[in-house]
A and B are shown apart, each in its own frame.
Chain A
């Protein structure tokens, strides 16, 4: 039995108050306790980016962060990007450009792409490649992913 502690933080704009085991990762907290299964497990050691979320406006691999470190922070997961059933422009761009095949890596990929564009609205294709380097996709060969992100940058430009 692991020791538990109480946590307060914000997730997708809503406050959460929850007791969590101290040895639990953010990824497991999201998936197993909060039913936010859009965030995916694919390696568990920060090598593939499938579990990427935003914490206080920065992207992280949620498999590498302990849940207790969320105290007082703001978390955004893929479920928080869309408003109701209305897709966020980045999500829509991925759909429109055919960047989604099996889709398993896409929640992490889209969170990371959205972060890159927020940080730098004039992102170049090379910068996109570098910024998405930590997100592994086995279906797409990344080309349509880059097209999707470029279209969002173009819209904003």
Chain B
């Protein structure tokens, strides 16, 4: 064999930027994959939760005796049976409730031998409530003498965030134009296709194994443990395949500790799985917000200031939703060059549902406002809309007032690329003129851009990710990473990166990342961070392994390690690719020598960023990125229907890693923004959800999808793996305001309060006509 290969030469090739298939796709496409929803453990019981179904009430009494008598019921628990346990961002929530503060509240839970028995048992639980006056709007929450939702917060005020830079009064005086508008963004929800599920199982030593959909398995232990009164070290988190997440599982929600309480008390594994209606009612939402935005500008088209006063409905409990101002203020201060900034964000407790994190995290909301103000300013100035934006676009090397360092900034290139590709300026003018003409269908084009963290977001003390890499005697690679897979494709990206460094086929890389007992720490899958952070970690680990192998090979080949490379499963001469030896043979030689040299390396990658502090002045991400979407719409002025025909995207991706996965994130991310803009809305009446089903809550389906044209701008990020930046949230963030700007172009009507449903659009057109 060695003689045979001795004459071979292997060219240096690269996988970076190529189309890599997701390794788990065949099992998913054939129905072989067992999702958490499909799992059945031996001796498993089925848990079900009695939710209050009313928004604000005292519990006078609970009678569980009839439920306990039902055959097949093993346990019924209420708050009375559990110690005072706390969960949530400010520990204002509990697994089971003594008092009802919102419709979602967990009153009791049952463990039974089947889902049907558990459901039947819930109907036998008798609860006497005393309903209390409720608080359902921010205004009601602020009112003098308003009912108090959380006793610890008697003024109904939850989290507050502020950032100020520069002299606002002076900036106002320097402004020739000041826009002053309020944008109200609504409730939407993730609608993961796999509904929420947890399976809890305690062993005889009191260690909990929880099968979970969580996106942050390591800090999850820290959040879950106090809700159970156990040590975080006694929790093992297993993450089976999950049916989507999109931010929905970035906190512990009550069903998870409830499953664990039932398991702890019965000594049996307990599974809680929501049906679709439970999923709609009891899952986190996107944070709704009322955003009062003022933007100033000189007559020459230079931005002078932005002042944002954001009020948020916190709902009854505080999860990550109420923290979104952390990102909203980065948009306010960083979406174009804004020297003077005044940002205030305040959340108010109400008896409504509560929000969690959701793809785009605060930026979907804020960009809906700032990107429309940019459009409105360009019109008021009567200035070329691209020229206006380019005048204010930040450039590489600039800082924002919050000290986000834009090391590589490609906003200008994104703007000109998307505008040229879609013939934006010409169409904008033409459709403005066409508005006055007769005709039922009106065309419009709209542009929006934004900035987002693209190198993690250091909201914890560490934003890092651990990687362990080992190679066996057959040159197969196993990578154990802290990074979680929720469908986004880190499995493909890590395989690709390791393959690139070690010169082995992608298929020879196995990823292990679903068990907290195996994996090293990672902060979680969020903030568009996984390719950047876990990708860098995997690359660094692979480079360590490569160095170890080449050092051993250099002794054998009598050359320096720098003169060698790994390609196509061989150790080769770097200069001409001449084969030195087979990689698996090299690994065996290293292994079975008198002093064994086995490839087992580890790495902990901490991105070069600063923790988000109380003053919000820090370079909190290792990279930032910009995107521009241009939406082309047709508005049916009779029915109010908005059809998005085409979206042209230009995004600074740093460097394309897996082109297929990148495109898939662009398309799927955009679809979320499309639903937010046009059709999705949770309708609440006095805190109760009126449309908890796919009939009345309209997620986009195939016919609504526009044609998509993508342009990837490669700014070559110094810190990112091969130059890559994080990418997956920007497409969700920028498309909705692009559509709103396009609808304005078509109709002359601004929609400050999405979604732009046919009813709302038709009414606005009718009112304008009859004004």
B37 at the interface (CB under 8 A from A): yes
Does A5 touch B at the CB level, under 8 Å? no
Assess the A139–B487 pair: CB atoms within 8 A. yes
Name the residue of chain A whose CB is nearest to the CB of B486.
Answer: A102
Chain B 469-510, CB within 8 Å of chain A: the 1/0 string?
Answer: 000000000000000001111000000000000000000000
Query: Are B30 and A142 in contact, CB atoms less than 8 angstroms apart?
Result: no
Q: Which residue of A lies closest to B658 (CB)?
A: A98
Q: In the complex the two chains form, what is the Cα distance from A48 to B488 in whole Å?
A: 21
Q: Taking A42-B195, A50-B193, A94-B29 as contacts, is the C-beta distance between A103 and B702 under 8 angstroms?
A: no
Chain B, Cβ-Cβ closest to A102: B487
Q: Does B192 contact A (CB under 8 A)?
A: yes
Q: Mark A33-72, 1 if CB is under 8 A from B, else 0.
A: 0001111111111011010000000000000000000000
* B649-692 Cβ-contact flags toward A at 8 Å (1 or 0): 00000000000110110011111101000000000000000000
Query: Which of A39, A110, A136 is the one whose CB lies under 8 Å from B701?
Result: A136
Tell whether, in the assembled complex, residue B702 and residue A146 are in contact, meaning their CB atoms are under 8 Å apart: yes
Q: Is A120 an interface residue (CB 8 A)?
A: no
User: Which of the residues B193, B195, B242 comes within 8 Å of A136, measured between beta carbons?
Assistant: B193
Chain B residues in 8 Å Cβ range of A135 = 701-702
Given A43-B693, A48-B193, A95-B21, are A139 and B703 neighbors across the interface (CB < 8 Å)?
no
Whether the pair A133, B702 counts as a contact (CB closer than 8 A) is yes
A82 to B23, CA, bound (A): 17
Closest A residue to B671 by CB, please name it: A141
Knowing A94-B25, A101-B488, A102-B193 touch, does A41 contact B37 (C-beta < 8 A)? yes
**B191 within 8 A of partner (CB):** yes
Encoded as 1 (CB less than 8 Å from any A CB) or 0, chain B from 52 to 85 comes to 0000000000000000000000000000000000
Interface size on A, residues (CB 8 A): 54
Q: Is the CB of A101 within 8 A of B22?
A: yes
- The verdict on A100 contacting B28 (CB below 8 Å), with A42-B194, A143-B667 known, is yes
Given contacts A100-B25, A146-B702, contact A82 B661 (CB under 8 A): no
Rounded to whole angstroms, the CA-CA distance of A43 and B697 in the bound complex is 12
399-446 of chain B: CB within 8 A of chain A? none
Which one, A39, A42, A81, contacts B276 given CB within 8 A? A42
Instruction: Identify which of residues 95-121 in chain A touch chain B, using a CB-to-CB cut-off of 8 Å.
Output: 95-107, 110
Q: Contacts A141-B670, A144-B667 given: A102-B194 contact, CB under 8 Å? A: yes
Most chain A CB within a 10 A radius of its CB, from B28, B275, B276? B28
**Minimum CB distance partner of B280 in chain A:** A43
The smallest beta-carbon distance between B690 and chain A, in angstroms, is 16
CB-defined contacts of A39 to chain B, threshold 8 Å: 31
Chain A residues near B37 (CB-CB < 8 A): 40-41
CB of A101 within 8 A of CB of B19, answer no
List chain A residues, Cβ under 8 A from B28: 100, 102-103, 106
Known: A94-B25, A135-B702. A102 touches B31 (CB 8 A): no
CA A145 – CA B705 in complex, angstroms? 11
A26 within 8 A of B: no
Chain B CB within 10 Å, residue with most, of A81, A91, A95, A106:
A95
Which residues does chain A contribute within 8 Å of B661, judged by CB atoms? 98
Question: What are 22 A-B interface contacts by the 8 Å CB criterion?
Answer: A42-B243, A44-B276, A47-B693, A50-B193, A87-B30, A95-B29, A98-B19, A102-B244, A102-B486, A103-B241, A104-B35, A105-B193, A105-B243, A106-B28, A129-B703, A130-B703, A138-B246, A138-B668, A139-B193, A139-B244, A142-B667, A142-B671
User: Which 6 A-B pairs rank lowest in CB-CB distance, beginning with the nearest?
Assistant: A38-B31, A102-B487, A103-B28, A104-B243, A141-B671, A78-B31
Other contacts beyond A41-B37, A41-B195, A129-B705: 13, CB < 8 A: A31-B38, A48-B193, A98-B660, A104-B192, A105-B193, A105-B243, A107-B31, A129-B703, A136-B699, A138-B668, A141-B668, A141-B700, A142-B705
Instruction: List the interface of chain B (C-beta within 8 A of A).
Output: 19, 21-22, 24-26, 28-35, 37-38, 190-195, 241-246, 275-276, 486-489, 660-661, 663-664, 667-672, 674, 693-695, 699-703, 705, 708
